[in-house]
Chain A
Amino acid sequence: MTSADTRSQKYPVGIDSVSMAEIERRVPAGEAPPLPPNAQLAVIGKSIPRINGRAKVTGAAPFTVDVKLPGMLYARLLRSPLPHARVMSIDIGAAERHPGVRAIHVINDVVGRAVETTGQNTPAGTSGRRVLYVGDPIAAVAAVTPEAAQAAVDLIKVDYQPLAFVVDLEDARKPDAPRVFTHPVHGESFAGGNPAGAALPQQGNVLGPNKSGSRGDAAAGFADADVVVEHEFRTQVQTHCCLEPHGLVADWRKDGLTVHMSTQFTAGIRAELAAAFGLPLSRVRVIVDAMGGGFGSKSSAGNYARAAVTLSRQANAPVRLVLDRHEEQIDSGNRPATVQRLRVGARRNGTLTAIAIDTYGTSGVGLGAGIGNFAQAIYDCANFELLQSDVFINAGPGCAMRAPGNVPGAFALEQTIDELAEKLGMDPLTLRERIDLSAVRREERRIGAARFGWNRRRAPGSDSGPIKRGLGMAQSLWGANVRTNSACEVRIFRDGSVEVLSSVQDIGTGIGTVLAQVVAEELGLRPEDITVRIGDTEYPAGPPSYGSLTTASITPPARNAAYQVLRKLIEIVAPSIAAAAGNLVARAGRISTADNSRSIGFREAAAQLPTDQIGVVASRSDDYAGFARKMGDMASAQNALGGVQFAEVAVDTETGIVRVERVVAVQDCGRPMNPLQIESQVQGGILQGISYALFEERILDRHTGHMLNANLEQYKILRSRETPAIEVHLLENYQGMSATDAYGIAEPSNIATAPAIANAVYNAIGVRLRQLPMSPAAVLAALGRIPQRSGPT
């Protein structure tokens, strides 16, 4: 940037009502001027009801599963009933002859898992492919009815040669365990955590260790320590359980492909399908309106979407493929299990001298069962050693799930820090004051402790009766992520109506409402004056809804586009009210001089447009003070996101039942755009955290490889009765980094919950639970009332 393209501006920085100041930033010339703190704004920062609320409460909101196209066919998948087998032959003859069948596709190339460099697949149409888990897709059928498609799937004859398999994490690590992969593997870290990358050692089913992220000299640090705490922690496999199943309607035409898909990333699906089918980006359109939950699992097209597109091309008709609940549970991704051995050393005053973590986990046949960057980044410690390994088992591949890596990572580290505090004779908050350099979390601890009543906390196991109460807390850390490849258009029409357009999708977070707020604020209008068009790649390519980056990525370009199109309008109308364009602002539905002496209504101003509409497309500029890291389209802001949560539990020592009675969460997300919607997301993060801590667990049968609770009644998820009182407090943390200064909230709110509960359970009963879920059986075993069970799979 040359100085000619930039200008200097003063931005508010600091935590509102704690310590506000101003900072000068050089910003690109097209940027909207600095936005004052929320208290001085009309629309941004207000709890505006979500714009599609009415559609959602009346059943009118169109979800992907509701899409019906003329001539639409229905597809079903044939999936492996065996956990490991070689497919010797596939006979589709009878299926082809079944009435109503229009297309059959045998799946030879699979995606979304670790890939062997050689030996896994054989040429199309022949036998020899290995299926690696129960549910591994083999073929797809499209027919005129779902029943006909299923009947045809059942008629496909597959000759399987069963192979030895392993689904237990500990069994899979043994040298003589059946091999999931027999050749070196590579691939992306689908589950989001480390390890990934190439050139890791591979022995048997173990890939790793990956040592990246280590720093300093851990051995020297432990030699310096007065106190060392060392323990092993185990976390289970959690499944996403989006209430709307994964699904799409693929419509292949001569002039291009249109896909209606329940996805977190329309622009990403477009790129993925264009590449997979050799189509130009301009000939692929991806659409999602209402979207029934993703939590990381609807980020890519996967095998099912490729199958549906292939069937549509073959049948020359639209094809609907929607997974059923059983398929959702076994083959739509999951949060990997981990086994983490942590060792933390400190001096008597609490200063950390070393952290060493040796962790392995399983993402099934996928990669990325690591523990993220939590332990690596949250506390001040010069010596940090990290060894991470993936263990392959014959189970469906993991994928990113809300704060991948950091959720299991925080469960282990935050309990270890509490153990260290106890050994040092320090309050957990006092120790964190010493080792946590974040000024934001310091404020969050202060607010949280006061609101929660931390001073009520007593010695562990203080209650004398069978029901024991306890208080605990834990902290959160998550990258403030940004995708710079995020664009948005704002249009003003001659009748004064306004549109904001981007392919960004609303997966339930309410980003459409936030876009209306941003544009309304800039144009001096009301949110209901703005028509929001999103979830369609016909519009400028927006960001994904993952990584807690959506608001940070798309609201600055939305504001800049609104600002720039408004300047165009002002240039046009300024002469009509004899004012200098530079002196005009938009507020309260009018374009006026700063002193309000001359003005014109927004609609009357728009009537002067020489064309039916004008528009400006803007994309995400870099954070004003630069990013901490940038790789391609993705970047991390200089300051990570924090959050502190406090939990109060009651543990019944006779039944082992843990009840979470109250949670206080203090969170930050830069500038909060819509506090009510943010509160919704934080509540959701906490409730998923409680559910992860106490109830959820995928159970695989080690004798058959089948998931035993592949449904929604035996896979236990928190519901209304287990919902505690939740108080959410949001910091306004201004940093002067973009046109909106907003960052994300979804993932940070999900990280601290499980360890806060675990620390509270310890405070209640005086015994630590180092394994998830903290089920009644686990609690009773920890209390010595029943035998310990073996580890999770």
Chain B
Amino acid sequence: MLDTTLPDFLASDAQAAERDAVGPGPVPLTLDVNNVSHSLFIEPKTTLAEALRDSLDLTGTKVGCDRGACSACTVWLDGKPIAACMMLAIDVGSRKITTIEGLAHGDELHPVQSAFIAHDAVQCGFCTPGLVMSCAALLESNPTLTIDDIKAATSGHLCRCGTHPHVHDAMLDASRIRKT
């Protein structure tokens, strides 16, 4: 499920005013992505999705609509799935970003990734990284899944090829394996 809480900076008017003073030209900022700290010099209007794809060459994060409607760009913000196209990179602050490139441990795939391969929960693959990130977050937070849990967690994801049935199979299998 996508985190719909407002970014922290909106909570404080004083911080917001300070933010207004930045840009439009590039500004320095630090992003913690997949446990590596990156120093960037980018325009404040840059979305997190753009920063990941264009500045850090982490192109596994896909942009399908750039409006938060398809969830292809799902990454984790402190372990919670968010739409990277709907957040400015500058608003990430010190929070940790995990992208699809950071999900596996070296050559060892995350159980959700392995289950997606085994159940062919992949067709064209464009929505897949985002779906995997939502599904992996679900499995981390709730190891005993029902089909309704899976449908709810992936309800924001558009998959035009129609991999949903195999995604459901993969997740039930991953959940079963985790329990045993």
Contact = CB atoms under 8 A, between A and B. Distances in A.
A711 B67 contact: yes
B54 to A, nearest CB: 9
Interface string A712-723: 110001111101
B161 A59 contact: no
A33 interface: no
Given A59-B59, A720-B164, A723-B164, A508 B158 contact: no
A244 to B, nearest CB: 5
B65 A325 contact: yes
A324 B147 CA distance: 33
Given A56-B125, A57-B117, A325-B67, A243 B159 contact: yes
A685 interface: yes
Contacts of B57: 68
Given A49-B120, A56-B128, A290-B125, A244 B165 contact: no
A244 B161 contact: no
A60 interface: yes
Nearest to B68: A713
Interface in A28-70: 47, 49-50, 52-63, 65-66, 68
Contacts of A58: 60, 100-101, 103-104, 109, 113
Interface string B59-101: 1111111110110100000000000000000000000000111
A267 interface: no
Contact of B160 (A295, A677, A721): A295
A56 B122 contact: yes
A293 B124 contact: yes
A15 B166 CA distance: 27
Interface string A757-792: 000000000000000000000000000000000000
Given A56-B128, A291-B124, A507-B124, A713 B69 contact: yes
B126 interface: yes
Contact of A49 (B62, B117, B161, B167): B117
Nearest to A295: B160
B160 A241 contact: yes
Contact of B69 (A65, A711, A721): A711
Describe A's contact surface by its main secondary structure.
loop
B162 interface: yes
A58 B159 CA distance: 17
Interface in B148-180: 150-152, 154-168
B168 A720 contact: yes
Interface residues of B, number: 54
Contacts of A52: 125
B150 A720 contact: yes
Interface in B84-142: 99-101, 103-104, 109, 113, 116-120, 122-129, 132
Nearest to A56: B125
A680 interface: yes
B120 A676 contact: yes
A680 B124 contact: no
A510 to B, nearest CB: 8
B123 A685 contact: no
Contacts of B67: 325, 711-713
B160 A242 contact: yes
A679 interface: yes
B122 A53 contact: yes
A68 B126 CA distance: 18
Nearest to B102: A59
Contacts of A720: 150-151, 154-155, 157, 164, 167-168
A684 interface: yes
Given A59-B59, A719-B158, A292 B166 contact: no
B120 A59 contact: no
A240 B132 CA distance: 23
Interface of B: 53, 57-67, 69-70, 72, 99-101, 103-104, 109, 113, 116-120, 122-129, 132, 150-152, 154-168
29 contacts: A47-B120, A50-B122, A57-B100, A57-B122, A59-B58, A59-B61, A59-B101, A60-B60, A65-B63, A241-B158, A245-B64, A292-B62, A292-B124, A293-B123, A295-B160, A325-B64, A325-B65, A325-B66, A508-B124, A508-B161, A679-B120, A680-B120, A684-B161, A712-B69, A712-B70, A719-B154, A720-B155, A723-B165, A723-B168
Sort A-B residue pairs by CB-CB distance and give the 8 closest, nearest first.
A59-B60, A508-B124, A684-B162, A292-B126, A687-B162, A56-B125, A59-B100, A508-B123
Given A65-B62, A243-B64, A677-B120, 18 more contacts: A49-B117, A58-B60, A58-B109, A59-B100, A66-B53, A68-B57, A241-B160, A243-B62, A292-B125, A325-B64, A508-B124, A508-B161, A510-B123, A687-B164, A713-B67, A717-B158, A719-B154, A720-B154
